Amino acid sequence: MGSTIYDIAREAGVSIATVSRVFNDSPRVTPATRDKVLAVAARFGYHPRALAQSLARRKTRLITAIVPIISNYYFMEVLAGMQDQLAESEFYLQISNIKTTGEVRGDDVRNQVEDIFKRGMSDGYIIISIHFDEADWENLKKYDRPITLLDEYYSGYDSVSVDSIEGGYVATKSLIDQGYKKIAMICAVADTKPVVERSAGFRKALEQAGLPYEEALLFYGTDIKRDGHTELNGYQAMKAILECGREFEAVFCNSDIQALGALKAMQEYQKYLAIIGFDDLSFSEFLGLSTMRQPMYEMGKIAIDKIINRINHPETDITHTIFSPRLIIRNSSLTTDPELAAKVEKVG
Amino acid sequence: MGSTIYDIAREAGVSIATVSRVFNDSPRVTPATRDKVLAVAARFGYHPRALAQSLARRKTRLITAIVPIISNYYFMEVLAGMQDQLAESEFYLQISNIKTTGEVRGDDVRNQVEDIFKRGMSDGYIIISIHFDEADWENLKKYDRPITLLDEYYSGYDSVSVDSIEGGYVATKSLIDQGYKKIAMICAVADTKPVVERSAGFRKALEQAGLPYEEALLFYGTDIKRDGHTELNGYQAMKAILECGREFEAVFCNSDIQALGALKAMQEYQKYLAIIGFDDLSFSEFLGLSTMRQPMYEMGKIAIDKIINRINHPETDITHTIFSPRLIIRNSSLTTDPELAAKVEKVG
DNA sequence: CTGAAAGCGCTTACAG
DNA sequence: CTGAAAGCGCTTACAG
């Protein structure tokens, strides 16, 4: 297939250095030579191979986003932000997907991430929604590549994330403020970072309001795909709530995608609890689902800024951008109890 | 940062050829030498750069999936299939995202796709949900790379797709079979491949049943993001249906994501038409949404098979795999009219 | 402004 | 089984 820089040089009667300069927009080329080279290149359908360029430059101009199963609906919006921010830069974005069967943890994920670093194909890496422990994060340092964490915090790398504890707190408090007292939480896979943090916020809100917190308020689905961030998991958890024999008025749900499943369970049981989710996925608005909004688009933009900045200035100080999630009240968490409703004003 | 093959060779007292052989699992290396090399490599934290390997081999062992805005929920499931099928192969998958503002057409998309080919970074390309015209597809031939189309058909490349005309026909017929006579269709952006085909099926079903077809049965939303495959677009289109002054009983909706928006519109108007979507996204089950199922996971697997086969055997005949979408009946399209209901048996 | 030459980090016949 | 050498397709000081 391909013609090389040598073909073009020979045909245009110049050296390969000149051809290279033309394609790198070097100012040190006469318009005449440039035109001649470009003409020949067009005739041959020549384009410099990114591969060879990267090797020679010792720079790939590539940023890799590492994502554990793109399924995360979350990622779609993050991506939009990354793309828009990338537009003006010289970098290309490539996405490497981490395959997960079941939980997003364990050696398998670790190995896949390391494999990506071993290939050494990118100037910088944005790691999204992967929650390693300290040792794992430290271990990545040996590859000596710029890293930005998104939806995760570790002191050793730049990061952008949302304060999940605060989010769990605000969500639960919004329920309490509406007059609900019997509140459960739908978790995803236990010991998982989002769950640990959001349930901590849940607990804090309850205790602050003088409502007793117990483990028994936490409900789990059994589906562990995507760490339990699935419709099915939420459906199962809500079923557990409705069948546990205990009365609940409201539910704080770990994620919108789970809330979608929870909604179905409520319909099946014809029993409607107030519910508030977490994320604000694009469909949540159309479900009338109250939620804690994560500024995903913004986070994507910021992650790109951070990684580019670190690629260009490796020695700058590490920074962490932490958003407070925003409360979005829609119908799903509004009380239907007229007595309670009287005390509440619609917020969003 | 990194040590190179030279460092390892020197330290291990062998030639770089031997180091290379060790890392390429060549059988022609004594266990002793192999161990020695591996030990040194481990100590140095050495890994061959994929970049340099690719250049020397003139093979990248990389397959690139080109996707117009990953947002397409559709893609998530396709990806799962691709990953599973890739597991046993020697290839890596990388995803290149096409940025789209508004419609997925025009020069901008064309240029982005071409840029990816110009970089020449992959051994093969799977192009997903991009609908070019004949000239555009032909134009890509000049890059002389293996290409597989997914969710698109063009005779010049291997492809895997779903018969959308058939899908539109079966969906509409299912509505007719249930006794509905006043049926509208929610389209996405007009002149777009899915819309053209599905509305053709819609028309065919009507005419075959002796129901008059008119343009006025086709409704459009104004949001053109993702070619109109958005919740908002469906919401707008359903509003148009409910406000047009004409009575409808049922709706065939171009995609599940739009159906989600349509559902909201119906709720707002407290007017419930039977509705059937297209795709069977993961949440559709939890919405009780009837739909035409596309075997996305399977399609992903097949696309990988095809591209790998063509990479390894460039001269094999071109093949097209075309699925008939499967009808999934859930609550949304079941009639509530007891008279009609009597004639219908629940299918799915 | 242009060219000759070294170098990027590997692989792979070709000998031995 | 192992090594010397050429080659993959570029970029980039260094001269001029």
Q: Which candidate in A88, A283, A301, A330 is best for mutational testing of the B interface (most B CBs within 10 A)?
A: A283
Banded pLDDT at B104 (limits 50, 70, 90): low
B61–A contact, CB cutoff 8 A: no
Residue of B nearest to A261 (CA): B286
Structural domain for B15, as ranges: 1-58
B336 and B208 in one domain? yes
Domain end residue (candidates: B34, B58, B82)? B58
Residue B20 domain flag: yes
Helix (H, G, I), strand (E, B) or coil at A321: strand
What is the sign of the dihedral through the CA atoms of A72, A77, A83 and A88?
negative
A169 and A54 in one domain? no
Residue of A nearest to B115 (CA): A47
Asked if A283 and A187 touch (Cβ cutoff 8 Å), the reply is no
Q: What single DSSP character describes residue A318?
A: P
What pLDDT is attached to residue B336?
A: 60
Q: What integer is the mean pLDDT of B167-175? A: 97
DSSP secondary structure string, B188-245? SSTT-HHHHHHHHHHHHHHHHTTPPP-GGGEEE-S--GGGG-SHHHHHHHHHHHHHSS
Q: Which nucleotide is nearest to B16 (CA to C1')?
A: D3
- Chain A contact set for B2 (CB, 8 A): 120, 144
- Chain B contact set for A233 (CB, 8 A): none
What pLDDT is attached to residue A347?
A: 38
Q: List the 167-226 stretch of A: residues with Cβ below 8 A of B.
A: none
**Average pLDDT score, chain B:** 91
Find how far residue A232's CA is from the centre of its chain: 21
Q: What single DSSP character describes residue A142?
A: G
| Ramachandran area for residue A166 (φ above 0: left; ψ -120 to 50: alpha; else beta) | alpha
Kindly determine whether residue A76 and residue B79, on different chains, have CB atoms separated by under 8 Å.
Answer: no
Q: Which of B189, B229, B266, B218 is nearest to A286 (CA)?
A: B266
Query: How far is A309 from A313, CA to CA, in rounded Å?
Result: 6
Residue B228 domain flag: yes
B176 and B35 in one domain? no
Residue A288 domain flag: yes
Give the closest-approach CA distance of A344 to chain B in angstroms: 22
Q: Give B222's contacts (C-beta < 8 A, 6+ positions apart).
A: B233, B236
Tens digit of each residue's pLDDT (9 = 90 or more) over B43-65: 999 999 999 999 999 999 999 99
CATH of the domain at A274: 3.40.50.2300
- Other C-beta atoms closer than 10 Å to the C-beta of A314 total 10
Query: How far is B342 from B138, CA to CA, in rounded Å?
Result: 53
Residue B126 domain flag: no
- Chain A contact set for B119 (CB, 8 A): 47, 49-50, 92
Q: Which of A290, A277, A293 is nearest to A347 (CA)?
A: A290
User: Tokens at residue B34, please?
Assistant: 């192999």
Tens digit of each residue's pLDDT (9 = 90 or more) over B68-103: 876 667 888 898 899 999 988 999 999 999 987 766
Query: How far is B180 from B184, CA to CA, in rounded Å?
Result: 11
Closest CB to A97 among B95, B96, B285: B95
- Please indicate whether residue B332 or residue A170 has the higher confidence score (pLDDT): A170
Residue A182 domain flag: yes
A17–B contact, CB cutoff 8 A: no
Verify if strand C has an atom below 7 Å from the CB of A29. yes
A260–B contact, CB cutoff 8 A: yes
What beta strand segments (E) does chain B contain? 62-68, 92-98, 124-128, 147-150, 158-162, 183-187, 218-220, 250-253, 274-279, 290-293, 320-323, 326-328
Ordered per-residue pLDDT tens for chain A, 348 residues = 589 999 999 999 999 999 999 999 888 889 999 999 999 999 999 999 999 999 999 999 999 999 987 666 788 889 889 999 998 899 999 999 998 776 666 778 899 999 999 999 999 999 999 989 999 999 999 999 999 999 999 999 999 999 999 999 999 999 999 999 999 999 999 988 999 999 999 999 999 999 999 999 999 999 998 889 999 999 999 999 999 999 999 999 999 999 999 999 999 999 999 999 999 998 999 999 999 999 999 999 999 999 999 999 999 999 999 999 999 999 888 866 555 555 444 433
Domain end residue (candidates: A15, A32, A58)? A58
Residue A284 domain flag: yes
User: Count of domains in chain B?
Assistant: 2
Q: Which candidate in B94, B233, B270 is best for mutational testing of the A interface (most A CBs within 10 A)?
A: B94
B201 and B330 in one domain? yes
DSSP β-bridge partners for residue A185? A218, A252
Calculate the angstrom distance between C1' of C3 and CA of A10.
Answer: 13
B215 and B337 in one domain? yes
What pLDDT is attached to residue B105?
A: 64
Location of structure tokens 């730049």:
A158
pTM of the model: 0.91
Per cent of chain B over pLDDT 70 is: 94
Q: List the 96-115 stretch of A: residues with Cβ below 8 A of B.
A: 96-97, 99
Residue A330 domain flag: yes
CATH of the domain at A6: 1.10.260.40
B91–A contact, CB cutoff 8 A: no
Q: Which of B92, B91, B97 is nearest to B75 (CA)?
A: B97
Residue B191 domain flag: yes
Q: Which nucleotide is nearest to A7 (CA to C1')?
A: D9
B335 and B205 in one domain? yes
Q: Give B158's contacts (C-beta < 8 A, 6+ positions apart).
A: B147, B148, B149, B306, B307, B310, B318, B319, B320
What beta strand segments (E) does chain A contain? 62-68, 92-98, 124-128, 147-150, 158-162, 183-187, 218-220, 250-253, 274-276, 291-293, 320-323, 326-328
